[in-house]
Amino acid sequence: MDFVKIGDKIISKSRINKKIDEIIELRSKGYSQQEVAKELDIDRTFISRLESLGEVRKGGDIAVIGFPIKNKDEIEEVLRSFNIEYILLMNEEERQSFIKKQGGKELLESVLKIISDVRKYKHCVIIGSNMRVKVLSKLLDSQVYTIDIGESPLKNDVYVDPQRVLDIIKTIIE
């Protein structure tokens, strides 16, 4: 039944759903909350509350860094399915290239930039050797979750269990 009686009012559920669909459509096209409110003649605060009600996870909460990862693409796919904004994963070849293509000063600046970027996130998942996860954990202000994939120094790519990563992400967002 489309109509519902609430007190002395009769409410059309389809009319409500249609209006919500219009709001979401305009917001997903890049319209601001204020523009949508004006266009549809509704309160901007209603749009804000509606978005909060439907929000699954706020962007910018989680960063994930890790190396050397054999199944990097598979792990990235898992992370992207949860809309993780900051992902920095490398296999050993990419890590060596990152190191070798820069001089000492540039490498230090790049590493400091990464640390600075990651410190902005509330949660950070670190995947790496025992020494690397320990050092990085101490440099970050965020809540840190670690996946130790072997003893330092790691010279070869290591397979990371996607379910292990998935379990940590689910723990964070729930």
What would the pLDDT profile of 83-139 be if each residue is shown by its tens digit?
A: 898 999 999 999 999 999 999 999 999 999 999 999 889 899 999 999 999 999 898
Which of 16, 33, 54 lies at the terminal end of a domain, its last residue?
54
**Same-domain pairing of 128 and 77:** yes
The answer, yes or no, to whether the previous bond of 153 is cis (omega within 30 of 0) is yes
**Same-domain pairing of 117 and 43:** no
Q: Is the pLDDT of residue 1 over 80?
A: no
**Same-domain pairing of 33 and 88:** no
The number of CA neighbours under 13 Å toward the Cβ of 138 is: 5
The answer, yes or no, to whether the previous bond of 162 is cis (omega within 30 of 0) is no
- Quick one: 55 exposed, middle or buried, by C-beta within 10 A (0-12, 13-18, 19+)? exposed
**Same-domain pairing of 69 and 124:** yes
Q: Where are the beta strands (DSSP E) in the chain?
A: 3-6, 9-12, 62-66, 86-89, 123-128, 143-148
**Same-domain pairing of 96 and 68:** yes
Q: State the pairing for strand pair 9-12/62-66.
A: unpaired
Rounded to two decimals, the pTM is 0.66
Q: How many separate domains does the chain show?
A: 2
**CATH number for the domain that contains residue 121:** 3.40.50
**Same-domain pairing of 26 and 42:** yes
**Same-domain pairing of 128 and 161:** yes
pLDDT score of 60: 53
**Same-domain pairing of 127 and 143:** yes
**CATH number for the domain that contains residue 17:** 1.10.10
Tell me which residue range forms the domain holding 148.
62-173
